[in-house]
Structures are given as structure tokens and as C-alpha cells.
């Protein structure tokens, strides 16, 4: 139990996001491994609100419409929340959208706050979508003017995103590279053997168009071998305009070429499958790819900045431009590839040394402690 005296001594770390999923699913293990500090979650109430209480000392409801690109009410609400924080608090924003809203709200805050931003993939704003290109053009001036004032440090997950964003934004503050959010390796059930008689291929993701859901559906039509089953795991995201619709999902459920299994517990269930497919159009650092490698699955991924690190590992292929022809060929010839438990163990050793949650958390600790000492 933290006393009032303890709270005054501990550095307050505020995790800010426009979605409760972000602060629970993607951050819970990191927070659990950080040095003792006072952790506050600021995000909208959602299905993970109760779970947040087990990780953070407190949760403040940030009212925001996730479907809107810009929500003035959310900025005004956030300004009020930020003004209630302790002087010198660290506010760590996750996602570029959250960072933009924080930066605008911070212009009207009358106390010193140490802003940190994690850009976990440049996402929709930097896609080839025409609407996104126009929006990026409009936001560029805003970002150029306020990001240097708002953030003491920006964290990227891959070098390519860092180079693109710095050129776009003219940000001149401190930057760091932290590859991924880490995985709590002790939680995963490892795959011990592989069945050649029946090959099980899985695609695990939020069901967003930019994650490559439609391409995966198309892929299943190209391969009709009786010994290969295709599975789709995940759920629609009603707050994201890039999500497939409920109608789209019903159509998928009715297809003979694929089995929709809903969301799965990756840590406990992923080992039941043989091949993991990643078809995202952009990623900061693909978590499901890392999890699949650690569990022991064979991996096929679209070659993008957030997945290029797959070349460090065995048991995986990178393909250009989500080539359905190349992916089909790899799956059809799966038994010809050298695939062994020794390769899987080699992958796990790399992940333990570079990507375990404790390794990633130590990098965050260093950033927070440096800010506290300034």
C-alpha cells in the first residue's frame, strides 16, 4: 500500500492513450517490470478498465471519440486532467494520434510536464491513402510547431520510422530506439512437435484492413490442399475507421476456405498452430511475429520496416509486397524447408537476450530516471 509520503517521493509516470487496450494489452508487462514509481493510466473507459486497476495505481477516464481524427472536446478534457497532475510528472503518450492531441492540450497547461512520445509505427497517417495524405499535409505545420515544445524525448521502434518522421516533423529533441514492447517469455506455452499430416496456418491480428485481413482471405482461396487448414484469429475494432465491418466478418464466417476462431489467448494457444502469417502494410515492431517465433511457429511476413528483423532468425521468410504467389509457394512447399526444434531454440535464445520484457523495461527505466534527474 502506497502512503501519501511515499507518493510524494515517487516519480509519477502517466501513461496516456486514446484506447484502454493500448495501456493494458501492450503495456501491462512493461509496467510490472519497471522500478517502483507511481503509475497513472489516462485513457477512455473500456472493456479493460477493471484490469487496469491491477497494474496502475489509478485510472482517469479521458473522454474521447476514437473514430474522429480530431476531437476538440477530448483536447479540452485532457487539458483539465494535465493541469491536475504533479509538477514534473512524466506523461508518456502512446501512438502518434495521442501525441498530437497531447501536444495541443499541453499548450494550455500552466506547469512543467516531461512529455515522452512512443511512435509504435507511423500508421494510417503515413499510408498511401489519399485522405491520409491530405490529413498529413494539414497536420505537418501543427506538428512542426508544437512537438519540440511538448516532448523531451520521442521513442521509435524501427530506424526507418525514425528517419521518415524526423524529416517530416523537424523534431530536434532527444530520440531513442526501443525495438518492440517485449514479451513475458515465461508466460508462453512452447511448441514441442510438428504434425506434417495436417498443416495449420494462422493469422492473428486486430481485424483491420491495413493489417492485411483481406489479403489473407484472398490467400486462402489460392491454396486448396486438403491437408492445410487456415485460421483467422482476432476481432473487429469498432472505434477504428480502418476496421472491417460486422457484415464483413459474417461473410468471412460463411467461407469454406477459412475458419474464424475469434480472439485467442496467444500465450496459451498459439503453440497449437504451425505457420504464422503477418501481412501488415506497416508496423512499428510486430509483436505477433515475435511471439510466433518464440513459441516455435514457422513465420511468413510481409517485408516492411517493422518486420525486417525477421532475417536475424531461423524458421521464417520475408516476402515483398504481400506477394500471394510467393506466400502460396512457401506454404505448398513447407515440408521441404529445414524446420527443426534446434532452430526454434536458437530463436528463443535471441529473443531472451534482446526482446524479453525485462530488457525492454530497463530501457524505459533509463529514460524515466534521466528525466527525473534533470
Question: Domain extents for the chain?
Answer: 4-182+356-373, 185-354
Cell representation of residue 289: 511475429
Mind giving me the DSSP string for 78-140?
A: HHHHHHTSPTT-EEEEESHHHHHHHHHHHTT--S--EEEEEES--GGGGSS-HHHHHHHHHHH
Question: Residue 339: what pLDDT?
Answer: 63
Strand-pair category, 228-233 with 199-204: parallel
Could you tell me the pTM of the whole model? 0.91
Q: Bin 207: left if φ > 0, else alpha if -120 < ψ < 50, else beta.
A: beta
Spacing of C-alpha 71 from chain mean position: 23
Question: Residue 195: what pLDDT?
Answer: 67
Q: Which CATH superfamily is domain 185-354 in?
A: Glycogen Phosphorylase B; (3.40.50.2000)
Tell me the C-alpha distance between 70 and 238, whole Å. Answer: 17
Question: What stretch of H or E contains 42?
Answer: strand 38-43
Three-state DSSP at 14 gives: strand
Mind giving me the DSSP string for 183-217?
A: B-GGGPPPP----SSSEEEEEES--BGGGTHHHHH
Question: Residue 340: what pLDDT?
Answer: 67
Question: Residue 337: what pLDDT?
Answer: 61
Q: Which CATH superfamily is domain 4-182+356-373 in?
A: Glycogen Phosphorylase B; (3.40.50.2000)
Q: Do the domains at 4-182+356-373 and 185-354 have one common CATH topology? A: yes
Three-state DSSP at 357 gives: helix
Question: Residue 7: what pLDDT?
Answer: 40
Cell representation of residue 52: 487496469
pLDDT tens digits in sequence order for the chain, 374 residues long: 444 334 444 678 999 999 999 999 889 999 999 987 899 999 999 999 999 999 999 999 999 888 777 789 999 999 999 999 999 999 999 999 999 999 999 999 999 999 999 999 887 778 777 887 888 888 898 899 999 999 999 999 999 999 999 999 999 999 999 999 999 999 999 998 776 678 999 999 999 999 999 999 999 998 878 889 999 999 999 888 889 999 999 999 999 999 999 999 999 999 999 999 999 999 999 999 999 999 999 999 999 999 999 998 988 999 999 999 999 999 988 876 656 677 889 999 999 999 999 999 999 999 999 998 76
DSSP 279: -
Buried b / exposed e along 295-313 (16+ C-beta atoms within 10 A): bbbbbbbbebbbbbbbeeb
Cβ within 8 Å of residue 275, ≥6 positions away: 199, 200, 201, 202, 297, 298, 299, 300, 331, 334
Helices vs. strands in the chain: H and E counts, helices first:
15, 13
Question: Residue 2: what pLDDT?
Answer: 42
Amino acid at each position: 500500500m502506497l502512503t501519501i509520503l511515499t507518493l510524494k517521493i515517487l516519480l509519477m509516470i502517466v501513461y496516456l492513450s486514446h484506447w484502454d487496450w493500448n495501456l493494458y494489452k501492450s503495456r501491462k508487462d512493461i509496467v510490472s517490470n519497471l522500478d517502483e514509481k507511481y503509475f497513472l493510466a489516462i485513457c477512455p473507459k473500456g472493456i479493460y478498465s477493471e484490469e487496469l486497476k491491477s497494474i496502475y495505481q489509478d485510472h482517469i477516464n479521458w473522454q474521447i471519440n476514437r473514430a474522429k481524427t480530431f476531437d476538440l472536446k477530448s483536447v479540452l478534457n485532457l487539458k483539465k486532467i494535465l493541469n491536475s497532475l504533479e509538477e514534473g510528472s512524466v506523461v508518456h503518450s502512446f501512438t502518434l494520434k495521442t501525441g498530437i492531441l497531447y501536444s495541443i492540450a499541453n499548450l494550455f497547461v500552466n506547469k512543467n510536464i516531461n512529455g515522452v512520445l512512443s511512435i509504435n509505427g507511423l500508421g494510417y497517417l503515413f499510408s498511401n491513402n489519399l485522405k491520409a495524405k491530405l490529413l498529413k499535409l494539414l497536420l505537418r505545420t501543427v506538428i512542426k510547431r508544437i512537438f519540440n515544445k511538448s516532448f523531451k524525448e520521442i521513442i521509435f521502434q524501427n530506424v526507418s520510422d525514425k528517419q521518415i518522421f524526423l524529416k517530416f516533423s523537424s523534431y530536434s529533441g532527444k530520440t531513442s530506439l526501443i525495438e518492440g514492447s517485449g514479451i513475458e517469455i515465461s508466460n508462453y506455452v512452447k511448441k514441442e512437435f510438428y504434425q506434417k499430416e495436417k498443416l495449420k496456418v494462422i493469422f492473428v491480428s486486430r481485424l483491420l484492413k491495413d493489417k492485411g485481413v483481406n489479403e489473407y482471405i484472398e490467400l486462402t482461396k489460392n491454396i486448396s490442399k486438403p491437408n492445410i487448414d487456415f485460421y483467422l484469429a482476432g476481432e473487429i475494432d469498432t472505434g477504428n475507421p480502418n476496421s472491417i465491418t460486422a457484415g464483413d466478418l459474417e461473410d468471412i464466417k460463411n467461407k469454406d476456405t477459412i475458419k474464424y476462431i475469434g480472439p485467442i489467448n496467444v500465450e496459451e494457444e498459439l503453440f497449437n498452430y504451425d505457420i504464422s502469417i503477418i501481412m501488415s502494410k506497416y508496423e512499428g515492431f510486430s509483436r505477433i511475429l515475435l511471439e510466433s517465433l518464440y513459441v516455435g511457429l514457422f513465420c511468413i511476413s510481409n517485408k516492411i520496416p517493422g518486420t525486417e528483423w525477421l532475417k536475424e532468425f531461423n524458421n521464417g521468410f520475408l516476402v515483398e509486397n504481400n506477394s500471394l504467389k510467393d506466400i502460396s509457394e512457401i506454404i505448398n512447399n513447407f515440408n521441404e524447408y529445414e524446420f527443426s526444434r534446434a532452430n526454434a531454440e536458437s530463436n528463443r535464445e535471441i529473443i531472451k537476450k534482446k526482446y524479453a520484457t525485462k530488457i525492454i523495461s530497463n530501457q524505459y527505466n533509463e529514460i524515466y530516471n534521466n528525466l527525473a534527474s534533470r
